[in-house]
Structure 1
């Protein structure tokens, strides 16, 4: 059994963390600017919808963060987290919607200490903190930025023009989505024994196919919402409920409580409404084929309804040209996805995925077969894996 910590938290990971914090602060500034602009222009409906997206996504993130802190109170490793807990400020931070920034502060603190003084244990804690922070950012991206991007694009499609604010907000939301996708890909590298062989070219291809598919989906939703603003709500609720039932059928076990698991399933259903996110173990080829076929048909149906209505509106181009362009981008995205999984994606055996336990560190299999069947040692690892360890294990197993 190995005694050295298998993860490697690099300077690039640290810089990406700081960049993510910067982007988060910029996004908040753009959100405030957008809300004020809607108010000044008396666009109260748009303002209300945007505030709903902002508050709803923030509350969702705070709930996940609070559950994770509550399930594993012993996992508080940084001075920042310990100080907040000692002075009973943890609830206050979550109430004030500051959970993400508390985690950023803890990660920056321990990462800085790790680089100033090489410490493998602190490096491992950095990976744990980075993983949970990434998960919260991913949830926020699809609960806030994806709906915001849909709203801004629908406003543009309604003929109100591409203002400077709309351009900045659209770019900001798209950047947040892209950053969450790339971060997801990069953080999963830590579970590979040969992680240094996974080059940035794989991340570029991974980013491109996600960008094309997500952009096509959001554009179709925005065009449909521009002509049927009320029906888009019914469409979301009907599709989302079906997706949640499908997630339930996957028998997920990501959270440590039943209520938390159902919240996770509902959140995955929201993510699936915009993009694929693997949550089940085993082969995913058939699942992917079914998902992209169904979502492709749904996207084309949305564009078809939009075309029937927009024919009555004066457009600077033929509506079918937009449909052809979006369909082509969707197909190109599928082809890039196939290329990624054929040439770049490391099909790793679960038993080769590296994981960190609270006991001496070891190379472990994802899920249940994580310990060598040595009777002299197996008794030390009978405690079920929970918290960040469990979440990291499941995500790595699902990804590879």
Structure 2
């Protein structure tokens, strides 16, 4: 009972903390836009507004599709009230879908904290899953491009806007890494108690993701600082190839064909910055190919940047030193990832994932019933249960 109360309290505090960080991020976004306007940096302001609106629209579309595909998942009093008064469309139109889901999660977390109820735990799991997915999408659609933009500004303008850029970089990096680590932590829900991942595994998981994502974003920022137009062409060309690769994985994450293509396009965006497993089977070969290709791409971008900076006098030290630093961080990140998968990551097999008889929502994603991801068996599940099942299968493969 004490352990259940402890986990309920932790879930409640993490929910409130996530909501607080989301509000802080909005405040920093507004501050950045106003600052760009006051300093006459209209191009940067336009790019930032485009990123903010584009990422928010993408999140609202996913949220609306999930509500529409599975209206039975509207189970909290907050969501029922909004749906009863036909305000669901209005909330999404006003870009408030994430906060509606946060309100539902705060409600259910409060009820769980005050009174333990297995049904509330199942509802909480569904809410956590969809909210986490939306935050992960937002992180790579908004925070990662923003971080690239802010670092590019620093590389281009030196010490200008030091306080603003430092705060925004910290906020974006924290939100980005927090979303990635939350993905790692939420997957613990699909393991039996004796196989729960410890916090040490999350630390290693955080470090290798931080190093690899930071290296990628820094490289993109440096390239964009000297070739601001070519970075757009680079993104579009690489992104289209990545979307085709996702299509080749035969993903079945959404319940509709249009929704599935939107998901594939979003995964292509995530892959532009970081690895995200979306297919069944062993990920070892796919991961090796991904990091080999993206590593080569990263080094090519650094090479172009170094070639350009050889004729400029704006960089504080020789460009090849930066290449050595970033290459070392990339290799260190790969080594930490290997360490994580060797020592901490549980594989998807019956010895490590067992059926949780007393938790219906988790039983829908447990190994003995539905951990395989072939499309034939996927058709037996829809909505949040299908998405949770696929996520667990991909994560532990």
Q: TM-score, normalised by structure 2?
A: 0.92
Q: Which residue of 1 aligns with 2:247?
A: 248
Q: Which residue of 2 aligns with 1:3?
A: none
Q: CA separation in 1, counterparts of 2:307 and 2:226? A: 10
Q: CA separation in 2, counterparts of 1:362 and 1:39? A: 49
Displacement after TM superposition at 1:147 (Å): 0.1
Q: CA separation in 1, counterparts of 2:311 and 2:235? A: 25
Q: Once superposed, what is the RMSD of the aligned Cα atoms?
A: 2.2
Residue 391 in 1 paired to residue 387 in 2?
yes
Q: Which residue of 1 aligns with 2:198?
A: 199
Residue 343 in 1 paired to residue 346 in 2?
no
Asked if structure 2 preserves the Cα contact closer than 8 Å seen for 1:191 and 1:354, the reply is: no
Q: Which residue of 1 aligns with 2:317?
A: 317
Q: CA separation in 2, counterparts of 1:16 and 1:347? A: 27
Q: TM-score, normalised by structure 1?
A: 0.92
Superposed CA deviations along residues 218-262 of structure 1, whole A, max 9, x for unmatched, are: 000000000000000000000000000000000000000000000
Q: Which residue of 1 aligns with 2:143?
A: 145
Question: Which has the higher mean CA deviation after the structures are superposed, 34-43 or 11-20?
Answer: 11-20
Aligned positions of 1:348-359 closer than 5 A? 348-349=348-349, 352=353, 357=360
Displacement after TM superposition at 1:366 (Å): 6.2
Superposed CA deviations along residues 54-89 of structure 1, whole A, max 9, x for unmatched, are: 000000000000000000001101000000000000
Superposed CA deviations along residues 107-136 of structure 1, whole A, max 9, x for unmatched, are: 000110111111011011101100100000
Q: Which stretches of structure 1, 4 residues or more, deviate above 4 A after TM superposition? A: 353-364
Asked if structure 2 preserves the Cα contact closer than 8 Å seen for 1:366 and 1:396, the reply is: no
Asked if structure 1 preserves the Cα contact closer than 8 Å seen for 2:122 and 2:362, the reply is: no
Q: Which residue of 2 aligns with 1:165?
A: 164
Q: How many residues align?
A: 384
Name structure 1 gaps, 5 residues minimum.
1-5, 371-380
SS in 1 for 2:380: coil
State the structure with bigger RCO (CA 8 A, min sep 6), 1 or 2: 1
SS in 2 for 1:385: coil
Asked if structure 2 preserves the Cα contact closer than 8 Å seen for 1:353 and 1:365, the reply is: yes
Q: Classify 1:362/1:73 alpha carbon distance in 2 versus 1 (closer, same or farther; 3 Å).
A: closer
Q: Classify 1:256/1:195 alpha carbon distance in 2 versus 1 (closer, same or farther; 3 Å).
A: farther
Q: Classify 1:364/1:341 alpha carbon distance in 2 versus 1 (closer, same or farther; 3 Å).
A: closer
Name structure 2 gaps, 5 residues minimum.
none
Q: Which residue of 2 aligns with 1:377?
A: none
Asked if structure 2 preserves the Cα contact closer than 8 Å seen for 1:182 and 1:207, the reply is: yes
Asked if structure 1 preserves the Cα contact closer than 8 Å seen for 2:209 and 2:333, the reply is: yes
Q: Which residue of 2 aligns with 1:375?
A: none
Residue 365 in 1 paired to residue 391 in 2?
no
Q: Classify 1:9/1:86 alpha carbon distance in 2 versus 1 (closer, same or farther; 3 Å).
A: farther
Q: Which residue of 2 aligns with 1:65?
A: 63
